[in-house]
Structure 1
């Protein structure tokens, strides 16, 4: 089975590969495509525009050839996946990595705190988790980890992950039942969180959803 992943940061490739190895998926081949320019354009525009969404859809449709499923691994670009794209991509599933994450986060109800590091993802992430929570008893709050994205862009990985872990610990201390890292780049911070619970991160959850969708599409 081949899952093609569209990323907007090179560093996310290793995180997805590690998640695939840990999950021990049988006969799973991951192919990675990185389009950092799409996220950069959205940041420059102050968010996802219709033009950037259309460009993202074109890329996703091109990736469906020779793929069993296509996974969009960027929460800012996530809304680019719509019903029209799904119809064009059929029978190849095209999924948002954060959609499966949202479903998992709210399924048990309780207080869910979703952490983000890039401002352009606040609106799409808030909308996505609100839609997921509408069918559950979960109370969702989305928060930006101030200063973190600046460290990421400066290649200060240790500083980036440290700020995220501190925000997660604070969320647990303030009563969060579930803490979610909305972006794959944040995943490494889960190992630095001192609370008893481990934050939910996209790679393993998204890959499991893509594999399931691919199997159902056969």
Structure 2
């Protein structure tokens, strides 16, 4: 019997890109997408997750288990800390898309630049990297690089080129002072074709997150 993975999204931007990556990395797995774009707008409006966000993330996790999912992948870093609560309510693995990326960043080097396009993602992403460093007993410094408004350009204006220009400019600005650059939003995967000239290691979460799901499922 084939495995089933539920992917919980907070916008439609990432659905096709993640579906294509899943097909490439684990083609034998059935993917079910759960999308609630109110989650991201709510976390952006409040600057952090709210009790309502936590309740909905937990509800979707319970529903994913009920529909027969063998694992769940959380796509959005902004609501990642709600996953910590939801994990206690289900009996299947619930993987944060950026967990493996955080570990890899710490393993690469001590000067880590985190690029985010929405303020609500920066805190959870930095804390995830800091926890990874603590577990690995490594000293790190993190530079927070917020490209404020870029995600609105992508989602509300549907202007991918402008979004990419804004983020690329920030990456180029911090490259020289970084050992590794972390792209906090999974939505930044659309930038990859334009980043081939970047010399420093540059990490995005979708591929490493899906590889982690594959590893956990043992396939």
**Could you say whether these structures have the same fold, taking a TM-score greater than 0.5 normalized by the shorter chain as the test?**
yes
Q: Which residue of 2 aligns with 1:85?
A: 86
Secondary structure of residue in 2 paired with 1:196: coil
Q: Which residue of 1 aligns with 2:43?
A: 42
Report how far residue 51 of structure 1 moved.
2.6
Secondary structure of residue in 1 paired with 2:208: helix
Contact 1:125–1:142 under 8 Å retained in 2: no
Contact 1:69–1:211 under 8 Å retained in 2: no
How far apart are the structure 2 equivalents of 1:162 and 1:139?
A: 26
Runs in 1 of length 4+ with deviation above 3 angstroms? none
Contact 1:101–1:200 under 8 Å retained in 2: yes
Contact 1:111–1:177 under 8 Å retained in 2: yes
Mapped pair 1:133 → 2:133: yes
Report the TM-score when normalising by structure 1.
Answer: 0.89
After alignment, is 134-143 or 27-36 more displaced? 134-143
Contact 2:108–2:179 under 8 Å retained in 1: no
How far apart are the structure 2 equivalents of 1:71 and 1:98?
A: 10
Report the TM-score when normalising by structure 2.
Answer: 0.88
Report how far residue 26 of structure 1 moved.
4.9
Q: Which residue of 2 aligns with 1:28?
A: 29
How far apart are the structure 2 equivalents of 1:141 and 1:213?
A: 31
Contact 2:178–2:200 under 8 Å retained in 1: no
Residues 22 and 142 (structure 1), Cα distance of their counterparts in 2 relative to 1, 3 Å cut: farther
The root-mean-square deviation of aligned C-alpha atoms, in Å, is 1.9
Alpha-carbon deviations, 1:119-147, whole Å to 9, x = none?
11122122111111222243322321133
Alpha-carbon deviations, 1:7-42, whole Å to 9, x = none?
11112011112322443x251222211110111122
Q: Which residue of 1 aligns with 2:59?
A: 58
Secondary structure of residue in 2 paired with 1:158: helix
Residues 197 and 30 (structure 1), Cα distance of their counterparts in 2 relative to 1, 3 Å cut: farther
Contact 2:58–2:89 under 8 Å retained in 1: no
How far apart are the structure 2 equivalents of 1:51 and 1:14?
A: 27
Contact 1:109–1:139 under 8 Å retained in 2: no
Question: Any stretches of 5+ residues in structure 2 without a counterpart?
Answer: none
Residues 155 and 87 (structure 1), Cα distance of their counterparts in 2 relative to 1, 3 Å cut: same
Q: Which residue of 1 aligns with 2:174?
A: 171
203, 211, 215: which one aligns with 1:212:
215
Q: Which residue of 2 aligns with 1:107?
A: 107
Contact 1:75–1:125 under 8 Å retained in 2: yes
Mapped pair 1:158 → 2:149: no
How far apart are the structure 2 equivalents of 1:6 and 1:125?
A: 18
